[in-house]
Amino acid sequence: MAFLFSPFAGQAQILYAQPTDSSLVTTRFTKTQVQEDLEFLLHTLQQAHPNLYHSVSREQLTRYKDSVAAALPAHLNSFQAIFALSAVVAQLNEGHLGFVTHQEQWKHFYREAQVFPFTIAEVMHDALIIQKDLSQPQHLAPFDTIWAINGIPVRHLIQKYKNLNGGLDCWRTRHVKNNLHFLLFADSIRSPFRVRASHRGRFTHFTVEGNPYPKPSPSGSTVSSPAYYTYQVLPDSVAYLNFRRMWGYHSRFISFLDSAFTDMHVRGVQKLVIDLRYNGGGDPRLGQILLSYLTRKPYRFHAFTKFKLSKPSKEFQYDLVNSTIPKPVRVLLKSLPNGLVKTTRYKAKSHRTRQPFYTGQFCFLIGQGTFSAANNLAGSIKEYGLGTLIGEATCEPLNDYGEMMSFMLPHTRLVASTPSEYFTHPTGDRHNRDGVQPDVVVKPTQRDRAQGRDAVLEFAQRWFP
């Protein structure tokens, strides 16, 4: 059981951090405290965001915030605060922002939850399509449909949970799918679960107990994390490079790619599949490093970027994250006025190539999980003809906000985030709000999922002439 949104994975620094412990989960906060956190949240966003009102006007956001604040109960716990604060943030309509939470809530969930005992194959607008029934005894078969949980229509739950996130609709739906078990727990929809469903075409009602979350391994992790990137040679001499995350040292990634491309050269491999479907982004320079083994064509990731210098960005970037920046540089940056927006323009250019340079055929796999810096990489591949994209459209536009900074709210100690930089489409088209479209569309079917087949990868293996 995995979650797409891992709010603290890779997040080493949190601005305005205070100590947290398990008592935060049971603390009852006053309406005034949550209202003050909401004001602090929006004030920080106003300071740091390059263009806060790109999707909603100041007046609309203020009215919505005031309506949420007025509707708060006299006292509420930290889980209730998630829904109030996240719904306001979602009005900004940005996929990067996610929902507002903190690690103690997730720890409590892992430790205490009796988890809804079904994995989800697909989230529809009014129903959940089941991948697997984990209850004992089982009540549903793969791809049966759930219509209501504890008397609440699933369509209401889906819409409520989608409203906690911004971005394209497919991204918001993906968040619901991958965080459903936590969201049900946070929403006090707990075991035993009363389920209304369709089993093989016939309506059924039943009550089922939840399952404990999988216990941590002796090493302390619940599920071992996959490597950021892996390489293997599949049947028919098709090399497969699974690029899951743009994290880690550049030197380590270069060493990995040197080894992989040397192995392809030695074996005479002339067919390569590069998988970006589950790459949630990170450092875009790793994308440039990868392309340096594959293309001599000119390209750029963005037409231009806009970085906003602010009190929060100075504290985050130059005190917490990059404390190794030479002191004179930090002094200079801090001396510049808050609110200054630096625009950097880029030209499409050829980049230095690396050896062993790959001269065979290659394609890239993309999908709904291709996000952030990986989405930018896919967008440049598409716009500059650097390779063939196979799979499904991504769920993020290339005109988007990033360079995220996490910060803690003073009372609830929930952790929110704000972007500090605006990134544009590589063509300079600022009005494009679509995800990256594949050159060849391949969408897995329910039968593919039921059989455990990776239809996209199988197609890519056959795609080479």
**Mean pLDDT (10-residue bins), the chain, 465 residues:** 35 84 95 98 97 96 97 97 97 92 93 95 95 94 96 98 96 96 97 97 96 63 68 97 95 97 97 97 96 98 95 80 64 85 95 97 98 97 98 96 94 96 94 95 88 94 96
CA angle (200 as vertex; 199, 204 as ends), nearest 5? 25
Residue 11, pLDDT score: 43
Contact, 455 vs 445, CB < 8 A? Answer: yes
CA angle (376 as vertex; 370, 381 as ends), nearest 5? 95
Which amino acid does the sequence have at 243? F
Three-state DSSP class for residue 361: strand
Residue 328, pLDDT score: 76
Residue 321, pLDDT score: 58
422-444 residue pLDDT tens? 999 999 998 899 999 999 999 99
Helix locations, 276-432, DSSP H: 285-291, 311-315, 327-335, 373-383
Task: Please state the φ and ψ torsions of residue 157, each to the nearest 5 degrees.
Answer: -65, -45
Report residue 310 as tokens.
């602010």
Residue 320, pLDDT score: 60
Task: Please state the φ and ψ torsions of residue 10, each to the nearest 5 degrees.
Answer: 75, 0
Contact, 421 vs 305, CB < 8 A? Answer: yes
Residue 7, pLDDT score: 37
CA 2 – CA 373 distance, rounded (Å): 22
Residues of 235-251 as b/e, b for ≥16 C-beta within 10 angstroms? eeebbbbbbbbbbeeee
Per-position DSSP letters for 91-107, written without gaps between them: GG--GGG---B-HHHHH
DSSP 49: -
CA 98 – CA 175 distance, rounded (Å): 8
CA 398 – CA 434 distance, rounded (Å): 8
| Among the listed residues 305, 303, 284, 313, the one whose alpha carbon sits nearest the alpha carbon of residue 419 | 313
